[in-house]
Amino acid sequence: MVKVTEIKSRMGVFCVVEVSGYKLVTPCDTRVRIIRSLSEKEMTADDIAKEIGASYSTIMDHMDLLEKVGIVETFLRKVEGENGRRKICFKLVQGQD
């Protein structure tokens, strides 16, 4: 079964196609690099920006779309040695079998 959904984000309107449990979004090299980075470990937007050489705002725009599509999810992580301060982190959503 194929399901097509339209998603609105800060970067515009995208078409998401779901086929056999996979979600496909209009190709973008930056999103592919973000997903590759997150496949290795959970990261903050700052960490991702440094790793792939993009700005923080660019990363956040892409994360907004990837979260709305259901590819990534956010969570809060306590920052060591900063009096309980927390950072927003991202991780890939685990596949559903």
CATH code assigned at 45: 1.10.10.10
Range of the domain at 67: 28-92
Within a domain: 50? yes
Cα–Cα distance for residue pair 76/97, rounded to 1 Å: 26
Which pair of structure tokens corresponds to residue 43? 């990261």
Within a domain: 18? no
Q: Structure pTM? A: 0.71
Q: For the chain, how many structural domains are there in total?
A: 1
| CA dist 43 → 11, 24, 48, 53, 65 (Å) | 22, 22, 6, 14, 17
Within a domain: 11? no
For the segment 22-77, what is each residue's pLDDT rounded down to a tens digit?
Answer: 777 766 778 878 888 898 899 999 999 999 999 999 999 999 988 988 889 999 98
In this structure, which amino acid lies at residue 40?
Answer: E
Cα–Cα distance for residue pair 48/38, rounded to 1 Å: 8
Cα–Cα distance for residue pair 80/96, rounded to 1 Å: 32
